[in-house]
Structure 1
Amino acid sequence: MIPDNLVDSIHSLKPDSIANYLRSSGWTESSLDENISLWHRPEEEFESFELLQPLTKKFRDYSQRVFELVESLTNFEKRAFEEVLDELSNFHADVVKIRVSHDDVESGSIPLDDGVRLFEKTRELFVSIAKSTFSKKKYFGGGKLSEEIANYLDTIRLGQTERGSYIVNLIAPIELIPQDQNDFDKVSVTRSVTKTLARSLTAIDSSINDFKSTNSLTAFDSAVEKGVSANLCDAILGLSGDQRSRNINISISLSQTEELSEEIKLTHRFEVDALPYLEKASEYYKDNYVIPNKTISGLVIKLTHEPNEDSGTVVIDAMVNDRQKNVTVELPIDEYWQSHRAHKRQQPVEVTGDLHVTPKTAKLLDGRNFKAFGDNDLFPDQE
């Protein structure tokens, strides 16, 4: 008898999904008639293994026969029944499992607000990756989704949640692409997005390690071409909960419907201690970050000083992370007048501080080690 909790799942299995799974797993088919197929193993040591598959749901005992087939397949593969059933059900789909772990979700439940947030951030994760599949950017603003991305998102289904901390299943069906002899390299949109997801998660993890070694925000630059964006970082941060207290595991299961032309990492883990680095990456991609102890140099292009004030503000045209920025810095009055003279003479100045960059401004805080260059030492090395 089929357990009550499996009746719907068993009955929903399609004959072609079962057949494709068996064929891809090395089983050989011998058709008995148009309604039944007999499958067996080609290996001599397994010649006694046989599976009887009904090819139409018109049989009154279709569900029972499929249940028995899955049981036999489970025994042969030595795997859990539910695991085999999931793969049969999702044979034509890439599946992404997002697992969050912490003491407060070990029972398989999650606080309501965090549960809502988890599903919202899961959608944001897929939106960001879909966008990055078609266009690589540090940050995607709002606006209407393209028709191609909207159509892809419409195909994604939420699978049943699982115990084991708290697990969300995302099922992305692979659309079948007709191929002729001159067109073997087409890749479905689903598989393209799945590959971007895998590449981007690998890239941001690698960039975090590079940042730890160099303490330079430019360590995050190379990840953008792999599909990483501020939106992706924010989505992962959101998956960890409002308090950012949960570890995150993202695992990918690829459909065998479509061949994979390259190796990609399918399991990814972000511990809680990696989350501050994701936040740094996100702010950097949004052009909102701080570079401590940064030395800038360049020509003074603007000066401001109020009467009777013992300081003044100068704006320096400087290079910051390979981009030209107008950097504002407040200087003591003596250094301000040195800047004034340098400005008149079109000679560069140099100053060190904590550089705060936003999309529209750049400001050097706690300016120190000021130097105005004379005629004999023009154009110092830029950092």
Structure 2
Amino acid sequence: MSYESPNDERRTVGLSAIVTYLRSTGWRESGTYSRAIVWTTIVEESEVELLVPATSELRDYAERVADIVRTLAFVEERPEHEILRDLRSTRVDVYEIRTVPDTPSGTIPLSEGLRAVRGVHDILLAAATAAASPDRPSVLPSQKPLAAKAVIDQLRLGQTSVGSYVLRVESPLADASLKPAVSARDVLLLLHQAASAARDAAAETYGDNFIEFEERIGDGVSANLCDALVAIGGQRQSMFELSFSWAAASPTEADTPLVRFDSRAISTLKRAAKHLRMLPVTEAVVVIGRITHLERPRPTDKLGKVQLAGTIQGKDQRREEDRIVMRLNPQQYSLAVATHGDGRNVRVTGALRHTGRQYEISRIDQFEVLAD
């Protein structure tokens, strides 16, 4: 069994990580002093200074890092061990789930903890599956895409934090030279989008009308995602919160505020999951029409939302509709933008579902622009 002393921990904090962290939290370089760089920030209208060694080869480097940690803990009003952890994680995205069970802070009933961990795994798998495919079914396939499994395999469960009972999922940034089909960052961003959509749908749902969930399937809401969220709440349907923080070395412009689920939302999600599993299977169709509306893709979703009006041709049926929604990959979306400008029609083949308010092409097999 190995033991890492405090000095060993501090020596693992590289200078580049310290500089990255300071820049991301509002500190500024303001000069030099002896063999150190002076960094400053403003706290309650007063300037605070921090000395960062110019090299990690100093014999007292660990002590210098300890001084930095103490100063940051004072400025941020956080425990030193959390500051040290974050300094060592400047290339890590973090997803935290704060549960509020009716037990002493920092604990959770064993059976509820098991459900929560399983729910955390399943919600991430649901988001990874949605991110790995342009299809957005109401029930995810039992056989998950290899790209989704690859993302899950690189995530790790970190040390829990103080406050009720907090589960921490860490996602190290991929090497810049690697270009995976789906990155862990893509998955976490889509998870925030889907969880927010599920929360909003639950807030707007009353009785047994689950149309709000049906209309958010394209945002990543599925029966699997709802079931996973319910599992995190446990049998007692305890309130929980999802929060996201992004690697200081690679910040994102996406707005990802905290997502909270209370007992009413959890109860609604449980019923919504059953409803989504009972939706009729989508039908194969060909749609020919003109694009009437385009929406830029969200930062959390690489798919662009497009609306068209035209003719739906299915088995033994043909009908005209003025609101048919679909989500296109970046290449298809670029074609749609060009088509919208010149008024040409498009032909789309795929699977169609009806939410009660609109028709949506949930799986696109072919998208092409027709000649004049």
Query: CA 1:149–1:55 in 2, change beyond 3 Å: closer, same or farther?
Result: farther
Please, which runs of 5 or more residues in structure 2 have no aligned partner?
A: 281-313, 316-372
3-state SS of 2:241 partner: strand
Counterpart selection for 1:192 from 179, 186, 194: 186
Counterpart contact for 2:237–2:266, Cα < 8 Å: no
| Separation in structure 2 between the aligned mates of residue 170 and residue 81 of structure 1, nearest angstrom | 20
| Among 208, 232, 245, the residue aligned to 1:253 | 245
CA distance in 1, matches of 2:157, 2:277: 30
Partner of 1:226: 219
CA distance in 2, matches of 1:187, 1:52: 39
Q: Percent identity?
A: 26
Q: Mean alpha-carbon deviation: is it higher for 254-263 or for 196-205? A: 254-263
Change beyond 3 A, Cα 1:77–1:279: closer
Equivalence for 2:261: 270
CA separation in 1, counterparts of 2:121 and 2:7?
29
Q: Is 1:26 matched up with 2:27?
A: yes
Q: 1:127 aligns with which of 120, 125, 128?
A: 125
Q: 2:233, 2:240 within 8 Å by CA — same for their partners in 1?
A: yes
Amino acid at match of 2:270: E
Q: Counterparts of 2:266 and 2:118 in 1: how far apart (Å)?
A: 18
Which residue does 1:67 correspond to in 2? 66
Confirm or deny: 8 A CA contact 1:152 1:189 kept in the other structure. Answer: yes
Point out the more displaced range, 247-256 or 231-240: 247-256
CA distance in 2, matches of 1:42, 1:102: 38
C-alpha deviation, 1:273, in angstroms? 2.1
- Give the C-alpha shift of residue 171 in structure 1: 0.9
Say how many residue pairs are matched. Answer: 274
Tell me, yes or no, if the aligned pair for 2:115 and 2:232 is still in contact at 8 Å: yes
Distance 1:70 1:275 in 2: 39
| Contact 1:99 1:248 (C-alpha < 8 Å) held by counterparts | yes
CA contact (8 A) 2:230 2:237 kept: no
Secondary structure at the aligned position of 1:41 is classed as strand
Within 2, Cα distance between the matches of 1:273 and 1:5? 46
CA RMSD, 1 decimal: 3.4
The answer as to whether partners of 1:13 and 1:88 remain within 8 angstroms in 2 is yes
Alignment of 1:67-86 (within 5 A): 67-86=66-85
Conservation of the 8 A alpha-carbon contact between 1:155 and 1:172: yes
Where 1:172 maps in the other structure, the secondary structure is strand
Q: Which runs of structure 2 are paired with 1:127-146 in the superposition (5 Å)?
A: 127-135=125-133, 136-146=136-146
Amino acid at match of 1:240: G
Give the Cα separation in 2 of the matches to 1:287 and 1:153: 28
- How far did 1:66 drift? 0.8
After TM superposition, list the pairs within 5 Å mapping 1:113-124 onto structure 2.
113-124=111-122
Alpha-carbon distance in 1 for matches of 2:148, 2:30: 38
Q: What per-residue deviation string (whole Å, max 9, x for no partner) do you get for residues 179-222 of structure 1?
A: 9xxxxxx998232212111111111111112222x752222112
> Structure 1: 5+ residue runs without aligned partners?
180-185, 290-322, 325-383
Distance in 2 separating the partners of 1:96 and 1:281? 25
Equivalent residue for 1:313? none
Question: Whole-Å Cα distance in 2 between the matches of residues 27 and 176 of structure 1?
Answer: 27
- SS of corresponding position for 2:204: helix
Q: How far does the alpha carbon of each residue in 1:276-307 deviate from its partner, in whole angstroms, 9 at most, with x for none?
A: 21012211221169xxxxxxxxxxxxxxxxxx
Could you say which residue in structure 2 is the equivalent of 1:97? 96
Pick one of 262, 277, 280 that aligns with 2:271.
280
Q: Which of these two proteins has the greater Rg computed from alpha carbons?
A: 1
Aligned to 2:176: 177
Q: Provide the C-alpha distance between the structure 2 equivalents of 1:177 and 1:171, rounded to a whole number of angstroms.
A: 18
8 Å Cα contact 2:129/2:144 also seen in 1: no
Within the alignment, does 1:244 sit opposite 2:236 as a pair?
Answer: yes
